[in-house]
C-alpha cells in the first residue's frame, strides 16, 4: 500500500505545519520522518546546546504523534540517501516538507526533488517557517533588500500572513512502519560531564511548552515590551527564539497571537523584531553563506587579531567587564543570552579584542539553544560592521556605559557575576575603581576599552581607505 512521507526539519510541530496538512489531504497513510543530516557538505549540524534541545523536542514531537495514532521515524545520515531508502521501505508515492533557505539545504532539496521525480514520486515543499518568502519582498527595481527598514516597510504593505492551520486530530498509520533509530542512540545529550543542568532549569522544549510561553508573553509581557526589552534584569523579552528556531512555533502563530491584542507601539516593536528574523532569512537566501563570508567584501582585508588567551577569557566570562562576563556566563549556564547583551559581548570580541566575528559566531552556534543559521551570523556581522545594514564602524559599545544604561542598579551583573555583588551601583560596572570590595578572584580588565577603541577605529579607517 502506498503512503506519504512528511519530512520534519526545522518545523517540529503539528499545528500550522503546511507539509503535514498537505499530506493529510492526500488521504494516504502518513510516515513522519526526521533525518539527522550531519553528513551533507554545507548543511550545518546543530551545536552542543542545540543538540540538547533537539533531543527533547523530538521526544515531545513523537509523543504528540503517538497521541494521534502515529509515530516519528528517526534516521541519521545524508538526507538524499536516507530519504531514498525510506521511500523504498515505505512504498511512498509522495513526500512533503517545509522549506529551508540556506543555499546548501536548498541545493540538496532540489537534488532530492529531481531524484524522486525520476522515480515518479512527487515531492512538494511548502511555506511554513517565514511570514513572507524571500522572493515575495523586493525593491521597486525588483532587487532584494539590503537594509532592514525599507524591507520591513515593504513587508507591512503585503497582505497579512494567513491564519495558522490547526493540528490534525488523527493521522492514518501505514500497514508497516519503516525501521527507526532509537533517539538515545544519537547521543545528543551531554554525558561526561553533564553540563546541561542550567538548560534543564531554564527551558522545556516542545510544542506545548512553546504555546504556553507565547500565551504568557502576550498576556503578561507584550504591553511593556517596548520599554523593557533592553533591560537584561527584567523579564521583558519573549524568549520565544529557541521555539522558533526549532519550529515548535510558526511565525504565523506568533504574529496572530500578538496582533489579536489592541494595536500598540509595543506590539509594533515586537513585530519588527519578528521582521528582523525575516530579513536575516532574506539575506541568506539571496546572498549565500553568511556564517563564513563577509557580506561586505572589503572586510576580507580587515586585520583581525589572532586568537589568544583573551578569547578564552571572553568565552569563560572573565574579561573584567561585568556586563560582558554576565552575558557569557548566562549563555554558558542557560544556553541563552539577552539580546542587548549579545550585542555588547559581540562588540567586545570584534572591536575591543579585534577578533574575527566568525570566532564568536561559532561559539554562539555551539552554546545557544536558539542558534539559527540566519539570525546568528547576520547578527554578528551587523555588530562587526561587515554585514548588511550594519551599524557604523565607529559605533563601538562601551561596556561600562552600556551596563550603566541598561542595568543601572547592577541587578543583572550581580546575579551572574557574584564577585562584584557587594559593590554599590556606581561601581558595579567598573569594579576596578573599588577593588577592595571585589572578590580577589575576579580579574582586572583584560584590555583598556579606550585604547582598544582607538586601535579598532584606526583599523576601520584604514580599511575604508583601501582602493
Catalytic residue numbers? 273, 276, 304, 339, 357, 380
Please, which residues bridge with residue 97 across strands? Answer: 7, 125
Residue 376, H or E segment:
helix 375-384
173 burial via Cβ count (<10 Å: 0-12, 13-18, 19+) = middle
Query: In what order do the strands lie in the sheet containing 92-98?
Result: 73-76, 30-36, 3-8, 92-98, 122-126
DSSP letters for 247-288? TSS-HHHHHHHHHTSPP-HHHHHHHHHHHHHHHHHHHHHHH-
| Cell representation of residue 275 | 521582521
443 sits in the region (left: phi over 0; alpha: psi -120 to 50; else beta) called beta
The C-alpha atoms of residue 412 and residue 390 are separated, in whole angstroms, by: 27
Pairing of β 30-36 and β 73-76? parallel
Of 3, 251, 30, 9, the C-alpha closest to 106 is 9
DSSP letters for 151-170? HHHHHHTSPPPPPPPPPPS-
| Cell representation of residue 286 | 539571496
The C-alpha atoms of residue 340 and residue 290 are separated, in whole angstroms, by: 21
> How far, CA to CA in Å, does 184 sit from each of 178, 193, 243, 250, 289?
18, 17, 22, 27, 32
The C-alpha atoms of residue 421 and residue 436 are separated, in whole angstroms, by: 13
Span between the terminal Cα atoms of the chain, in Å: 66
The C-alpha atoms of residue 177 and residue 71 are separated, in whole angstroms, by: 9
C-alpha torsion angle, residues 354, 450, 431, 418 (rounded to 10)? -20
Cβ neighbours for 26, distance < 8 A, ≥ 6 positions apart? 4, 94
Residue 226, H or E segment:
helix 225-228
Give the residue ranges of DSSP H helices in 132-220: 148-156, 197-202, 207-216
Give the residue ranges of DSSP H helices in 27-127: 48-66, 79-90, 103-118
The C-alpha atoms of residue 374 and residue 388 are separated, in whole angstroms, by: 12
Amino acid at each position: 500500500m502506498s503512503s506519504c512521507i512528511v519530512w520534519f526539519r526545522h518545523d517540529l510541530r503539528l499545528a500550522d505545519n503546511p507539509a503535514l496538512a498537505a499530506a493529510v489531504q492526500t488521504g494516504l497513510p502518513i510516515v513522519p520522518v526526521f533525518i539527522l543530516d550531519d553528513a551533507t557538505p554545507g548543511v550545518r549540524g546543530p551545536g552542543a546546546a542545540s543538540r540538547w534541545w533537539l533531543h527533547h523536542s523530538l521526544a515531545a514531537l513523537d509523543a504528540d504523534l503517538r497521541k494521534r495514532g502515529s509515530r516519528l521515524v528517526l534516521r541519521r545520515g545524508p538526507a538524499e540517501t536516507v530519504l531514498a531508502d525510506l521511500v523504498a521501505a515505505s512504498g511512498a508515492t509522495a513526500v512533503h516538507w517545509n522549506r529551508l533557505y540556506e543555499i546548501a539545504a536548498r541545493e540538496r532539496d532540489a537534488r532530492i526533488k529531481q531524484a524522486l521525480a525520476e522515480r515518479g514520486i512527487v515531492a512538494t515543499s511548502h511555506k511554513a517557517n517565514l511570514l513572507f518568502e524571500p522572493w515575495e519582498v523586493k525593491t521597486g527595481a525588483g532587487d532584494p533588500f539590503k537594509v532592514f527598514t525599507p524591507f520591513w516597510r515593504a513587508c507591512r504593505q503585503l497582505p497579512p500572513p494567513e491564519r495558522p492551520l490547526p493540528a490534525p486530530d488523527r493521522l492514518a498509520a501505514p500497514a508497516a512502519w519503516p525501521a527507526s533509530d532509537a533517539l538515545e542512540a544519537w547521543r545528543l545529550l551531554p554525558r561526561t560531564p553533564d553540563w546541561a543542568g542550567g538548560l534543564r532549569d531554564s527551558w522545556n522544549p516542545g510544542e506545548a511548552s512553546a504555546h504556553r510561553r507565547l500565551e504568557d508573553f502576550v498576556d503578561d509581557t507584550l504591553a511593556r515590551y517596548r520599554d523593557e526589552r533592553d533591560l537584561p534584569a527584567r523579564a521583558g523579552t519573549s524568549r520565544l527564539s529557541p521555539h522558533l528556531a526549532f519550529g515548535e512555533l510558526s511565525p504565523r502563530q506568533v504574529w496572530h497571537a500578538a496582533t489579536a491584542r489592541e494595536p500598540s507601539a509595543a506590539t509594533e516593536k515586537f513585530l519588527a523584531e519578528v521582521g528582523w528574523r525575516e530579513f536575516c532569512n532574506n539575506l541568506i537566501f539571496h546572498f549565500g553563506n553568511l556564517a563564513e563570508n563577509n557580506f561586505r567584501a572589503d572586510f576580507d582585508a580587515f586585520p583581525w587579531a589572532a586568537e589568544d588567551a583573551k578569547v578564552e577569557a571572553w568565552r569563560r566570562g572573565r574579561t573584567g567587564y561585568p556586563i560582558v562576563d554576565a552575558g557569557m556566563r548566562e549563555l554558558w549556564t542557560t544556553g541563552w543570552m539577552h539580546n542587548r547583551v549579545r550585542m555588547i559581548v559581540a562588540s567586545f570580541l570584534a572591536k575591543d579584542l579585534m577578533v574575527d566575528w566568525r570566532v564568536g559566531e561559532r561559539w554562539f552556534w555551539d552554546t545557544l539553544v536558539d542558534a539559527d543559521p540566519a539570525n546568528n551570523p547576520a547578527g554578528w556581522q551587523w555588530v562587526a560592521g561587515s554585514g548588511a545594514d550594519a551599524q557604523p564602524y565607529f559605533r563601538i559599545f562601551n561596556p561600562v556605559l552600556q551596563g550603566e544604561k541598561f542595568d543601572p542598579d547592577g541587578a543583572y551583573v550581580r546575579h551572574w557575576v557574584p564577585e562584584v555583588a557587594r559593590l554599590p551601583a556606581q561601581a558595579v560596572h567598573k569594579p576596578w575603581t573599588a577593588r577592595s570590595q571585589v572578590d580577589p578572584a575576579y580579574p582586572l580588565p583584560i584590555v583598556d576599552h579606550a585604547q582598544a577603541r582607538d586601535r579598532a577605529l584606526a583599523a576601520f579607517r584604514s580599511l575604508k581607505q583601501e582602493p
